[in-house]
Amino acid sequence: MAKAFDANSILSQLNSPFSDRIAALRCVKNDVVGHSQRKERWVRRGIIRILVNIVTSAPDANTIGKDARQVSGTSREFAHEETARLHAIQLLASFANAGSSFLPPLHAAGTLPALLSPSCLRSEQPQIVLAALRVLQSVAEASAPSFQTPLADIIFANDKLELFLHILSQPVPTPESEAQASIVANLIRKLCREDRHQTAMVSNGILDALATRLATFAVAGGYVLPKAEVLAKSSGLSDYIPQPARSDRGLGNVLGAIAAIITDSPFRACKLLFSPSILAVFPNSRHDWKMYSEMPSETPELPGLRPTRRMDSDPMDLLLPFVPSHSCGTARTNFSPPGASASKETTYVKGRSATKSYTSSSAWNLPGDNADVETEEAESPLIPWLIHLVRSRGASESIAAAMVLTSLFKAGFSYPSREATLGLLVIPVLLNTLNEVETNVTEDDLTDLTTSGYQRLRLLAETPALLARLITDSEPLQKAAFDSDAAKTLCRILKNTYDTPLPKGAPRPWSPHGNYQESIENVPPECQLGDVEELPGLASRIEIRASTLLAIGALATFKEEYRKAIIDEDAIPYIVESLQPSPGKPKQAKERKVEWPVNESIKDDAPSEYGNNPPSVIAQACYALRMLSRSVNILRTSLVDHMVAAPVFRLILRHADVEVQTAATATICNLVTNFSPMRDSLVEYGVLKLLCEHAHSLDPILRLNALWALKHLVDSAPVELKKKCVEELESGWLVRLICDDTEDEALFSARIKGDEMDEDTDMGLSENQGRNWLSTSFYAASSPTRQQHEILILQMAEARLTALREAEMNPVRKARHDDLAIQEQGLGFIRNLIGGSHSSSSVDSTNETTEMIDYLFNTLGQDRLFEILASKLRPKVLHPFNRRGIGATTGTATTETRVVPPHFKVIEAVIYILVHIAASVPRHRQVVMAQTDLLRQLVRLLDPSASSAGVSPNGSSSRGGGDKEVRLALCHLLNNLSWQDDDRDAPACSQRSSELRRLGFVSRLDHIAHADDELDVRERAKSALWQMKQGI
């Protein structure tokens, strides 16, 4: 141990010539290794700043674009300044490994900018690069979850990504270069969570470089497809078949980094499949592989975006066990749009919540979706190879491969039959891995930040989230998970995050100076330690808690049997306690108080021995409760017994995080249904006023969820409550919600303003300019021997990627999607507003319906209401994006106008409003019959020659389930319009029937009654047709 005067002498030597510095640095290294208390003393003496100065003192001879590093495996001898820099970086690594309390002085001294400079990351000496990367990795692993996004902003800046791209793209594999690439990939896997960082990874070529790294492992393992070299040569991709990796040690990190980049993005997932090295190593052929030796040389084809063509013999499938085709069960279902059904409400939840975490293929209108394409496409051979990796590799690599596989599967880039393969071959592996990792976690993993312990805790946090993402919206995969005891495993892990006490950390070493509580007013920040860190296991435990809650919610999406199994595992007390920012010990129903106070403030910073729940945990707890509350039985028993209404309501009322409010509002949707025992107490608490306030929110998802909850709240509610709701919401705002395309108009106005600022800019070139940007960034790691624009298959890939990127990233498209969802719920709100009460008698229900219809006519205006309804049935003319020629043709620049048919869910909501009005008294039926223009639009929906009644949620035309619901609704409407109340209504009824015949409804109903594909539509049409003919 160094004495005080020795320390002063060493500090002076550190400012001396390099030869003296090296000796002093070695002395400090010998003193601090393994001694946290000595590290604290050196920090207070200001050594961090001195070390950073040593790192940055040498002249930066290696700038971007110059690579003096030798990649042949040998390098010149260290100069004195390089040796000193290496020792300084290694000392910084020692301080970074000492715990999170050492991070503040490291940041204050400018450690990260120094290490992220070209002098470190493009040094001629591989040891310096590797040491600098290890410091960055230690900082990332020791940082609190709340600081990881700011840390990613620093590390993933565009100029820093150029340095990482250089590290990942070294052509000749060496032990040092592979270790460096593995750490870079691990940093991406750990920190790349935000969309802006993921997009930067694509545009800067990082994803392509990682794909090339992945291909090196395939080459080294002998997984290159037969004749791949021949196909690559014929297509110009031969330069993209990489050298084999020296070892497979970095495979897990590379897969994890790719998964972090492509998650929740069909565009980025497709970019992986279209990366040159993946196309070269895993080519697609038009011909059966077993016949390929007899076929002439050909150019490979791109993997399909909706693959359906199965070869008789796919070579990669030989790596997998045989899976019978009948095991698939039902085809995989895409995530339901808002308001998909009355029974299964899939409410939008933003950000950290469950719904946004999964982007199904239905969310994007991919190229070819609307075209009648006769040719079928095959999936990429990468997909069966990933399934093989999941089954054959160790836990870390298996989970990482499953992450990439899940992104490709959820984006729709695999065969539909792969669902059966995933259920039989992948889901059991994930759950077995989860059980094994949980068993192997020790107390030391929770107290010490060891590499192996960190990996085990990371797997324990990642695997449930991966499982949730994979099984969401897929009943077959949920069944496979349930059959593998997922409910029991997930509930046990959740309970362990509360029931298993964290081991106490090692006590701080005794010091004659006592605790460091002296005044720090005049102490530089780089000499001040941060707060005493919490145990590493506590942060991991919180991540595990959030991940497990997400998986429990995903498992409970559809089946009552699965929800009951979760209840039987006694998970409800732990889910309810996860709603609290500062949780206590989970309590059984009989231990809870009669009522939780909702007016007390939420203390999210109060320390808890169970760990404070961040917004991510609370949002996932809301999601799990929302899925469980889909069961009427659970809603009326377990959730009532555990008094979930008050804590959920308090989150809406008091929590500052808008994403928590959004998740809690989504949960309230199921708690205020007409069959919920909690509705009255929530109304008493004031949920109506609060939901109306959120319906005015600037956040579109919170506004949508609040309107959705209000729709449920007024269903079968007393007339007084309905009127109060309209008054609180404000009739003008309701009209705006269902009538105005606010986001679309705002975006169009912003574009017009941009045009006015630059009159010489032709916005008609914006699309091509976007494509030019894509062409320069799609293949940033292209072969130096051949330009990308000379390779035909990459040109084809660029065209598809451009269309995918437009579908995914276009803000106008997303704003329009939000508008449609809000309009649908607003119309549903009006429908429930004028509906009768299920609990009242038939006469009372009719009287209530009549009263509310008159109230609505008086409040909104009768003519205005019907004009709004008619407008929802008309095709929408989208604003053109070419400024020149708006409304006219100017020279050669013309305005391209897009006409979009109405959304079929909006059509259905409009028709059911009319159904309720027509179910009232005869004078209201006469009011509907007076809307001739509206009825003419409705009769077109029954035209058998029409290709579609509207558009599906992804924006494409649909003649399927959506049209069926529209036709059923129209049959209900015609039935009600031709209904005769009594003899006094006979003349009016006959007149209505005759008018309906004149408009063409009878002939079209007659066709549907005999020719419709759906039995229930035919039967309902026959009933309506019979009644109309009686009136005539």
pLDDT reported for residue 815: 85
Domain ranges of the chain: 421-503+534-565, 797-886+895-1031
C-alpha angle 567/573/575, rounded to 5°?
85
Neighbours of 898 (CB within 10 A): 10
Whether residue 459 has pLDDT greater than 80 = yes
**Taking residues 690-704, what's their average pLDDT?**
95
DSSP class of residue 411?
Answer: T
Give the DSSP letter of residue 13.
Answer: H
Q: Does the pLDDT at position 734 exceed 60? A: yes
- The reported pLDDT for the residue numbered 503 is 63
- Looking at residue 57, its amino acid is S
Residues 605-613 have a mean pLDDT of 77
Task: Render pLDDT for 868-899 as a digit per residue (tens, 0 to 9).
Answer: 999 999 887 765 544 444 444 444 444 456 77
Rounded Cα gap, residues 958 and 967, in angstroms: 13
What DSSP designation does 200 have?
H
Higher-confidence residue: 30 or 957? Answer: 30
Which residue has better confidence, 449 or 499?
499
The answer to whether 544 and 457 are in contact (CB under 8 A) is: yes
**Position 685 confidence tier, pLDDT thresholds 50, 70, 90:** confident
Residue 250 above 80 pLDDT?
A: yes
Take residue 354 and report the two structure tokens written for it. 């469950």
pLDDT tens digits along 370-421? 444 445 788 899 999 999 999 999 999 999 999 999 999 999 999 998 999 9
- Cα angle at 373 between 801 and 475, to 5 degrees? 75
* pLDDT(346) > 60: no
Q: Are 136 and 187 in contact (CB under 8 A)?
A: yes
The closest of 240, 235, 249 to 186, measured between CA atoms, is 249
Residue 4 pLDDT greater than 80, yes or no:
no
For 827, other C-beta atoms within 10 Å of its C-beta total 25
**Cα 511 from Cα 102, distance rounded (Å):** 18
Tokens at residue 104, please? 């503040």
Residue scoring higher pLDDT (653 or 667): 667
> What 3-state DSSP class applies to 145?
helix
Predicted confidence (pLDDT) per residue in 157-214, tens digit: 999 999 999 999 988 788 999 999 999 999 999 999 999 999 999 999 999 999 999 9
pLDDT at position 332 over 50: no
Average pLDDT value for residue range 763-782: 43
Angle among Cα 517, 519, 524 to the nearest 5 degrees reads: 110
Position 343 scores a pLDDT of 36
Of 623, 666, 657, the residue nearest 146 (C-alpha): 657
The CATH number, out of the four listed (3.30.450, 1.20.81, 1.25.10, 3.90.320), of the domain defined by the range 797-886+895-1031: 1.25.10
For the stretch 89-103, pLDDT in tens is 999 999 998 888 899
For 429-455, b/e burial (b = at least 16 CB within 10 A) is bbbebbbebbeebeeebbbebeeebbe
Question: Rounded mean pLDDT of 230-250?
Answer: 89
pLDDT on residue 67: 44
- CA gap 911, 963 in Å, rounded: 12
Integer CA distances (angstroms), 116 to 53, 136, 527, in order: 14, 9, 22
Greater confidence, 207 or 336? 207
Q: How confident is the model at residue 258 (pLDDT cuts 50, 70, 90)?
A: very high
For tokens 């929408």, what's the residue? 876
Higher pLDDT, 960 or 761: 960
Chain-centre distance for alpha carbon 587:
32
Residue 424 DSSP code: I
Tens-digit pLDDT profile for residues 483-516? 999 999 999 999 999 988 766 655 555 555 555 4
CA–CA dist 727, 832 (Å, integer): 16
Which of these ranges, 73-87, 679-693, 803-817, has the smallest mean pLDDT?
73-87
Tell me the whole-structure pTM to 2 decimals.
Answer: 0.88
pLDDT at 52: 94
C-beta atoms surrounding 394 within 10 Å: 11
User: Is the CB of residue 824 less than 8 Å from the CB of residue 906?
Assistant: yes
Between 446 and 684, whose confidence is greater?
684
284 - beta bridge partners?
Answer: 301
**What is the per-residue pLDDT for 104?**
92
Residue 951 phi, psi (nearest 5): -115, 155
| Residues 978, 1024 contacting (CB under 8 angstroms) | yes
Structure tokens at 704: 């949508």
State residue 741's pLDDT score: 59
Q: Which of 168, 148, 149 is closest to 160 using CA atoms?
A: 168
| Alpha-carbon gap, residue 763 to 755, rounded angstroms | 8
pLDDT of residue 897: 66
- CA 187 – CA 193 distance, rounded (Å): 11
What value does the mean pLDDT take over residues 321-342? 48
pLDDT, position 608: 74
Classify the C-alpha dihedral 173-175-180-185 as positive or negative.
Answer: positive
Checking if the pLDDT of 519 tops 70, the result is no
- Residue 358 scores a pLDDT above 60: no
Confidence of residue 792 (pLDDT cuts 50, 70, 90): confident
